[in-house]
Copies of this chain bind each other. A is one copy, B any other.
Amino acid sequence: MAVKTIQWKNDRVVMLDQRLLPHKEAYRVCRDYQEVAQAIREMVIRGAPAIGVAAAMGVALGAAKAQVKTFDRDFERIFLNLSKTRPTAVNLFWALERMRKIYTVNRSRGVDVVKRLLKDEAQAIYKEDIAANKQFGKFGAQVLRNARHLMTHCNAGALATAGYGTALGVIRALKEAGREFDVFVNETRPFLQGARLTAWELKKEKIPATLITDSMAGYLMQMGKVDAVVVGCDRVAANGDVANKIGTYTIAVLAKRHGIPFYVAGPTSSIDLNCPSGKEIPIEQRDAKEVSHIFGKALAPKGIKVFNPAFDVTSQELISAIVTEKGVIQPPYQQNIRNHVGH
């Protein structure tokens, strides 16, 4: 059964509420663009490609409800509101720019036409994302053909995309190719996307998975128990530096020390040629309570100061290859990324 991460249904955006997994499969129905923005901010939906799809649907939803008289002002407000939800994943801005282009190019054809075309575009972004996932699944499965023991961080699965997944898309493709392997799942504190989401997806797919805390990855590598690491990405800079969930950098440093290949999987919409390097990627700082509390209960003494960066940057020299729907990018990245996206 496919996971229904996000859907457009009768002029509503319906999302699986990922904060409730693995305990409960409940859906959040967004009736206007503000509700979509809120859902993105609160991480009801998360994962770079899924955030892109949600933002596109948010624009379409907002536009659908906008009045003819105030359409242009409303469009700008919708756009601005959604663009402020989360700063790191570039897919959000990429999707918004695609929506703006539809608006700009077709504005002269009238509000009703624009509204219809925005809906079509959001649907196209949704469908293209699933198709891209399946594409790099194939490429990734080829890259990983000799790995028996994989490790992944965070959730780059069907839940992080329109469906199928990036890193987990590669893992699904390996399964479909009949390979035998197992996966170490880093729990991924503080939001526990590994424990809650990736473990849940792998279990549904009957792929053997072992849950560990993030702090155990080094031990497993030291013991020779990991053949390859595969993760998703929130933004790839022009030089190949990759922003991804906090803790990814640490896993990459450990993999390098142990001579374990470290792969990044993501759609070309995650590549940002306007960012020369990881230094220019904005890193979101989130609420202290995500670190200091679990299930509403404090883990630490009251009033403790907390630092909560949601992402980190993995330097390009730690990355063995980047897999997209167009194929596999090898180092040196500076030149190869440009060639890959056709610039």
Q: Which residues of A contact B (CB under 8 A)?
A: 22-23, 184, 186-190, 192, 195-196, 199-200, 203, 208-220, 222, 246-247, 249-250, 253-254, 257, 283, 291-292, 294-295, 297-309, 312-313
Residue of B nearest to A306 (CB): B211
Residues on B with C-beta less than 8 A from A209 are 304-305
* Separation of A314 and B326 alpha carbons in the complex (Å): 41
A selection of 12 A-B contacts at a CB cut-off of 8 Å is A187-B189, A187-B299, A189-B189, A209-B305, A210-B305, A211-B306, A211-B307, A212-B307, A218-B312, A219-B246, A253-B254, A295-B295
Q: Please determine whether B300 and A211 come into contact, CB atoms closer than 8 angstroms.
A: yes
Residues on B with C-beta less than 8 A from A257 are 253
Q: Please determine whether B249 and A219 come into contact, CB atoms closer than 8 angstroms.
A: yes
Residues on B with C-beta less than 8 A from A219 are 246, 249, 283, 309, 312
The main secondary structure of chain A at its interface with chain B is: mixed
Q: Which residue of the partner chain, among B188, B216, B313, contacts A246 with CB atoms under 8 Å? A: B216
Known pairs A213-B291, A216-B307, A219-B309 / 16 extra A-B pairs, C-beta < 8 Å: A184-B307, A187-B299, A190-B213, A195-B292, A195-B300, A211-B292, A213-B214, A214-B247, A215-B247, A216-B308, A217-B250, A218-B247, A219-B246, A219-B312, A250-B250, A295-B295
Q: Which residue of the partner chain, among B184, B196, B208, B306, contacts A210 with CB atoms under 8 Å? A: B306
Number of copies of this chain that the complex holds: 2
Q: Which residue of the partner chain, among B187, B196, B213, B305, contacts A211 with CB atoms under 8 Å? A: B305
Q: Please determine whether A189 and B214 come into contact, CB atoms closer than 8 angstroms.
A: yes
Residues on B with C-beta less than 8 A from A211 are 291-292, 300, 304-307
Q: Which residue of the partner chain, among B188, B190, B254, B300, contacts A250 with CB atoms under 8 Å? A: B254
* Shortest beta-carbon distance from A212 to chain B in Å: 5
Residues on B with C-beta less than 8 A from A308 are 212, 216
* Separation of A209 and B301 alpha carbons in the complex (Å): 11
* Separation of A307 and B208 alpha carbons in the complex (Å): 13
Residue of B nearest to A208 (CB): B305
* Separation of A331 and B213 alpha carbons in the complex (Å): 31
